[in-house]
Amino acid sequence: MPGRRPNIGGKFTVKLYDQASHGADYLKVCVSRQGYDPTTQPLKWSDPQLVTTTGKYAPSQNYAIDVSTSGYTGRHVVYTIWQSSHSDQTYFLCSEFERRLEDLRTSHGLSRHDVAAWRPRRMT
């Protein structure tokens, strides 16, 4: 759903659909640094911090990457780098999420594994 900013717990899963079954040499997931505010600040290359790097994925259509955001609070941007294994192509994906305190998550009935919905975000 465009514009949706899920409220997540300390862990979530990035799910990618690869219609062409490229495979991946690796996937890297970065989360914007603590204190970054996407409502008032443009995203800079120095803002994302690497939180997960995967190994190689065989050609498939579905990839799932578990991510931990323990210690993060507030709004964040997730930046995913996907190095295709069939060529020298690299794909970049951006999404946004909100990490609230545990009691707020529970009161809204949200799962710890709500998946971030992709929302384009321009890097400056």
The per-residue pLDDT for 7 is 59
Pairwise CA distance, residues 82 & 5, whole Å:
22
Pairwise CA distance, residues 120 & 101, whole Å:
25
Pairwise CA distance, residues 35 & 47, whole Å:
10
Domain count, the chain: 1
**The domain spanning residue 22 has which CATH number?**
2.70.50.50
Q: Does some domain include residue 102?
A: yes
Tell me which residue range forms the domain holding 70.
7-107
The per-residue pLDDT for 89 is 87
Q: Does some domain include residue 123?
A: no
Q: Does some domain include residue 120?
A: no
Q: Does some domain include residue 113?
A: no
pTM of this prediction exceeds 0.85? no
Q: Does some domain include residue 17?
A: yes
Q: Does some domain include residue 115?
A: no
CB 11 within 8 A of CB 67: yes
- What tens digit of pLDDT does each residue of 67-96 get? 988 878 888 888 999 999 877 888 888 887
Cβ–Cβ contacts within 10 Å for residue 12, how many?
Answer: 23
